Amino acid sequence: MGKSTGFMEYNREEARERDPHSRLQDWGEYTAPFSDETLSRQGARCMDCGTPFCHTGIEINGTASGCPINNLIPEWNDLVYKGKWKEALERLMMTNNFPEFTGRICPAPCEGACTLAINEPAVAIKNIERAIIDKGFENGWIQPRIPKQRTGKKIAVIGSGPAGLSAADQLNQTGHSVKVYERDDRPGGLLVYGIPNMKLEKDLVERRIDLLREEGIEFVTNTEVGKDVTEAELRSEHDAVILCTGAQNHRDLNIEGSEVEGVQYAMDYLTAAQKHLFGEEDENYVDVEGKDVIVIGGGDTGADCVATALRQKCRSIVQFGKHPELPQARPSDNMWPEPPNVYTLDYAYKEAKEVYGDDPRAYSVHTKKMVADEQGHLKELHTIQLEKVQKEDGSYEHHEVPGTEQVWPAQHVFVAIGFVGPEQPVLEHFDVKTTKRSRVAAVYGDYSTNVDGVFAAGDARRGQSLIVWAINEGRGVARQVDYHLMGSTVLPA
């Protein structure tokens, strides 16, 4: 695959990014595409390794290694190198329903498992994937695939995030009639309201939704299951129901003062900001212009809050993380093909560094309390540094370091410390069993719940995870539902 000596002749090239100062003036996508010549060189770096790990899709120590949807990466790398773009698109669409999303927002576990990444920068797989699908749309190769005949079977999908959309897409292509229910006013779930425009422009989501509509999928928005439509109605009108409600039950901060005005969940902030861009009103909307902002939580959602606050022209921004700063190179306990746990500057941190001169992240920080002013609005945070200590059994715990107390001015805090599972009302409405972690009790690969004809997939089943795992589960549950309804299935495993 690729050029036999390509990995020795060509260096990895990173995607071009718009200048941080200019892109902070708008909400447009921050990356720019490669040229065809650059993409050919990057495809040439795919080294024809004996056993490609990039598409294995396994979990190591709880994190993905390789592509969970088993993309045929070496094949389309080779085709791009040779300039065979349409053939590359055909290979890509065999395994991935929505490459225009994953090529932009997936953290690319495939690159961490690239054989070249053992001692060199990985092949630019994610950027090649994005280029293939973008060229497919630009050249009109992506056309509605309308099933030639219908089976007469009807399926309801609850939730229109990537798991629900991929399940709907697969089932529709087999000839079943699929109706997707979404409580928000637009389909797309977190693709619309949880991922900022800078990473995924919403016209790309709308383009895909429009295509799915043309192919026969019906979307029912502004409809909350249990209120606007009942479980009994859904089950009486459909032959199967799939729960893809996501995992948006916020983890609470549970510290003194966390209830004061000015403290908000990160996802509420991001959702309201996106609705504001749509020209819609939302009671959670805040504009942090001229304010001191702190984000608690060191993940991608926190980084998106940083980028959003910067575009609103905050006065200062800091992101607290519980863990120490990551090393520049792989540590000995983080061996390939695990994703590399190394220091990087995400797009938001590059922007903050450009504005304020430094990485906005503060490491090993524990927030002790929040203090309000006389009007009840947040004015400051009190913190202490943490030390990560390894115990005799090999696990780690965090100890407070005396004398490291600090007071931080802040008028707005966004809490981005993750989720504890799916929201429960819909699950309770369907009377499905849940696990100790409040997730739907359905075995991976089978996806059946304790209620006959009701299935579950995506974050509602596995917990908060990557978009590629959501697509993986959407495709998997579609296969199981098809088998349940028809007694056999042609959908891929």
pLDDT tens digits along 341-372: 999 999 999 999 999 999 999 999 999 999 99
CB-based contacts of 172, cutoff 8 Å, min separation 6: 147, 178, 212, 215, 216, 217
In what order do the strands lie in the sheet containing 263-265?
A: 263-265, 412-415, 292-296, 316-320, 361-362
92-117 burial code (b ≥16 CB/10 A, e <16): bbebbbbbbbbbbbbbbbbbbbbbbb
Structure tokens at 231: 């479980």
Picking from 67-71, 263-267, 313-317, 392-396, which range would have the lowest pLDDT averaged per residue?
Answer: 392-396
> Before 337, cis peptide (omega within 30)?
yes
d(Cα 270, Cα 306) in Å, to the nearest integer?
A: 10
Between the alpha carbon of residue 254 and those of residues 367, 415, 459, the distances in Å are: 10, 11, 24
Is residue 68 a contact partner of residue 109, using CB atoms and an 8 Å limit?
yes
pLDDT exceeds cutoff 90 at 4:
no
Burial label, 403 (beta-carbon count in 10 A; 0-12, 13-18, 19+): exposed
* Per-residue confidence band for 490, with pLDDT thresholds at 50, 70 and 90: very high
Residue 204 has φ and ψ, to the nearest 5°, of: -70, -40
Share of the chain above pLDDT 70, in %: 100
Burial of 276 (0-12, 13-18, 19+ CB in 10 A): middle
Backbone angles phi, psi at 483, to 5 degrees: -65, -40
| Residue 395: pLDDT over 90 | no
Provide the pLDDT for residue 394: 81
Q: What is the mean pLDDT of residues 20-37?
A: 94
- Structure tokens that stand for 148 in this block: 């030639």
418, two tokens: 């993750």
- 126 pLDDT more than 70: yes
Asked if residue 455 lies in contact with residue 440, where contact means CB atoms within 8 angstroms, the answer is: no
Task: For residue 193, name the pLDDT band (cuts at 50, 70, 90).
Answer: very high
What share of the chain has pLDDT > 90, as a percent? 90
Task: Give the closest residue to 317 by CA, choosing from 269, 256, 384.
Answer: 269
Mean pLDDT on 245-252: 93
Give which of 57, 123, 35, 62 is closest to 468, Cα–Cα: 57
Q: Which domains does the chain have, with CATH numbers?
A: 6-138 (1.10.1060.10), 154-248+420-486 (3.50.50.60), 263-415 (3.50.50.60)
What are the pLDDT digits (tens) for 207-234?
Answer: 999 999 999 999 999 999 999 999 999 9
Position 419 pLDDT exceeds 70: yes
Task: With beta carbons less than 8 A apart as the criterion, state whether 249 and 421 touch.
Answer: yes
Q: Which residues contact 395 (CB under 8 A, 6 or more apart)?
A: none
At 125, is the pLDDT very low, low, confident or very high (cuts 50, 70, 90)? Answer: very high
Rounded CA separation 435/424 (Å): 12
Residue 493 pLDDT exceeds 80: no
Q: Which two tokens mark 186? A: 């637009």
Q: What is the pLDDT of residue 1?
A: 64
Q: Mean of the per-residue pLDDT values for the chain? A: 95
Is residue 2 very low, low, confident or very high in pLDDT (cuts 50, 70, 90)?
Answer: confident
Question: Token pair of 277, please?
Answer: 């861009």
Q: How confident is the model at residue 392 (pLDDT cuts 50, 70, 90)?
A: confident
How far is Cα 263 from Cα 412, in angstroms, rounded to an integer?
6
pLDDT, position 447: 98
Is pLDDT larger for residue 168 or for residue 330? 168
Strands (E), 321-438: 361-362, 365-372, 378-390, 396-400, 406-409, 412-415
- Yes or no: say if 79 and 39 are a contact pair by the CB < 8 Å rule: no
Residue 396 pLDDT exceeds 90: no
What pLDDT is attached to residue 32?
87
Residue 255 pLDDT greater than 80, yes or no? yes
**Residue 256 — very low, low, confident or very high, per pLDDT cuts 50/70/90?**
very high
Average pLDDT score over residue span 142-169: 97
Q: Measured between alpha carbons, how far is 148 from 251 in angstroms, rounded to an integer?
A: 46
Rounded mean pLDDT of 432-447? 96
Q: How far apart are CA 320 and CA 298, in angstroms?
A: 6
pLDDT (mean) for 11-16? 91
Are 282 and 272 a contacting pair, CB within 8 Å? yes
* Three-state DSSP state, 19: coil
Question: What is each CA distance from 41 to 55, 74, 78, 168, 355, in whole angstroms?
Answer: 20, 14, 10, 36, 34
Beta-bridged to residue 369, according to DSSP, are 256, 382
Element at 111 (helix H, strand E):
helix 109-112
